[in-house]
Amino acid sequence: MTAPMTAARAVTDVLQPRNVLLAGMPGIGLAAAGDWTGLLWGLLGALCAGLVPAGYIEWERKRGTWGDRHVVDRTKRAPIFFVILGSVGAGSLLMVLGGAPAGILYAMLGLWAMTVLLLAVNTVWKISVDSAVASAVVALLAAVHSLWWLIAYAVAAAVCWSRVALRYHTVAQTVAGAAAGAATSAPFLFLVV
């Protein structure tokens, strides 16, 4: 494997959606709550939006449904989107019942809306979920902390590059994914600012 391909593999593995959500959601929760309790709400968000779906993908992979976590055949992706929608919905309900801060609920709503959009697009065209999640988390962090977080779009760009370099997606599919992530975060930006 060439050095660029090795780098692309490392980027796509390290910055996969579950890891990006696990790193970003606690920061979003912290800002939403204004104290350490927000970290717990953020971890619940990461669990529901990232870890549960990743666990489902791994379970199906071990059963032989898919070759790896990338699920390159878009026609096999619908069940994953439904698991994400159910998990994010259940997490949001727990947050409502637990009195979570509005900001983390808005973030979950944005992730839920992003998943609906990705599911709809995926019925006709393969869009990059990895790019969408990376973009959404950066936009959400910028909304709740500082516009300086927009510099982290370099991370989203690295995710896009890695997905294209590994030939999981085209440039258009990664750009569309990143745009979907940002677009579904826009309502959150207006609610927080």
CB 7, CB 82: distance < 8 Å: no
CB 174, CB 160: distance < 8 Å: yes
pLDDT given at position 192: 59
Question: Which tokens go with 88?
Answer: 């994010």
pTM, two decimals, is 0.94
Question: Which tokens go with 145?
Answer: 């902390």
pLDDT of residue 6 exceeding 70, the answer is yes
SS3 content of the chain, % helix, strand, coil (to 5): 80, 0, 20
Percent of the chain with pLDDT over 90: 83
pLDDT of residue 40 exceeding 80, the answer is yes
pLDDT of residue 52 exceeding 90, the answer is yes
What pLDDT, in 10s, does the model give residues 170-190? 999 999 999 999 999 877 766
Q: Averaged over 34-59, what is the pLDDT?
A: 96
Q: Averaged over 2-16, what is the pLDDT?
A: 95
Torsion, Cα of 74, 131, 57, 42 (10° steps): -140
Domain boundaries, the chain: 3-192
CA quadruple 135, 138, 142, 144: dihedral sign? positive
User: Which residue has tokens 């709400």?
Assistant: 41
What pLDDT, in 10s, does the model give residues 58-88? 999 999 888 788 888 888 999 999 999 999 9
What pLDDT, in 10s, does the model give residues 152-173? 999 999 999 999 999 999 999 9
pLDDT of residue 193 exceeding 60, the answer is no
What pLDDT, in 10s, does the model give residues 82-136? 999 999 999 999 999 999 999 899 999 999 999 999 999 999 999 999 999 999 9
CB 145, CB 27: distance < 8 Å: yes
Q: Averaged over 3-28, what is the pLDDT?
A: 96
- Amino acid, single-letter form, for residue 95: M
pLDDT of residue 144 exceeding 90, the answer is no
Q: Averaged over 33-40, what is the pLDDT?
A: 95
Percent of the chain with pLDDT over 70: 97
